[in-house]
């Protein structure tokens, strides 16, 4: 299992070692000890989610109030998605920046996003199946969103599916009316870098 820190601090790409034979493939997509060594703390598992998305479905940018936030360890068991992390921590040196990892059923990578980061993904194939390990349960009153097509953030979303066909983005009603990053900042929705750093330090 290899960890690569992304350009947004607090996020990692994880590449597992796969073992294949004529029967199929086996891999360990999460291991507690290597994760804790890399992140500096264990992952407290409070909830596990699964989503299935048609090609073109765009989910996010989602985030939760800190504390407690919601860290996510995400992989794609079937199909392919472009998974994106956005730094929404006010006062962070990389505030407003994003990075991405292709999650698919070939390399079977995962991405970890710590508390205080925004998360989104675009499905590149019908029935793309995404699995999430979450550090805190879903709590509607603490959950927020930023529009995934906000030009200020400027995420370079793919325009073609895995099979080369053109993609037409499909957003939920909630995501389609989400505020821009600037609007979320003005309304006081965004976590501060200091608050996030203090919370994550308390996990160690």
47 Cβ contact list (under 8 Å, min separation 6): 134, 136, 137, 138
Active-site choice (41, 95, 132, 169): 132
Query: DSSP string of 80-110?
Result: EEEEEEEE--BT-TTTT-EEEEEEETTT--E
Residue 95 known to be catalytic: no
Count CB neighbours of 23 within 10 A: 6
Residue 41 known to be catalytic: no
39 Cβ contact list (under 8 Å, min separation 6): 12, 112, 114
Active-site choice (62, 119, 144, 147): 62
| Catalytic residue set | 62, 132
């Amino acid at each position: 299992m290899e960890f690569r820190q992304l350009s947004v601090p607090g996020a990692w790409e994880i590449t597992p070692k796969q073992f294949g034979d004529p029967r199929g493939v086996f891999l360990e997509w999460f291991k507690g000890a290597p994760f804790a060594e890399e992140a500096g703390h264990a992952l407290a598992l409070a909830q596990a989610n699964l989503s299935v998305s048609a090609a073109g479905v765009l989910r996010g940018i989602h985030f939760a109030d800190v504390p407690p936030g919601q860290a996510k360890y995400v992989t794609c068991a079937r199909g392919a998605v472009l998974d994106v992390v956005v730094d929404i921590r006010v006062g962070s040196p990389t505030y407003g920046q994003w990075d991405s990892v292709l999650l698919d059923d070939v390399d079977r990578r995962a991405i970890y996003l710590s508390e205080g980061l925004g998360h989104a993904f675009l499905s590149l194939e019908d029935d793309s199946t995404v699995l999430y390990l979450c550090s805190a349960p879903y709590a509607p009153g603490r959950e927020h969103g930023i529009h995934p097509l906000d030009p200020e953030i400027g995420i370079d979303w793919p325009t073609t599916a895995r099979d080369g066909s053109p993609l037409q983005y499909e957003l939920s009603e909630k995501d389609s009316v989400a505020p821009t990053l600037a609007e979320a900042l003005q309304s006081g929705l965004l976590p501060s870098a200091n608050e996030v750093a203090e919370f994550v330090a308390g996990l160690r």
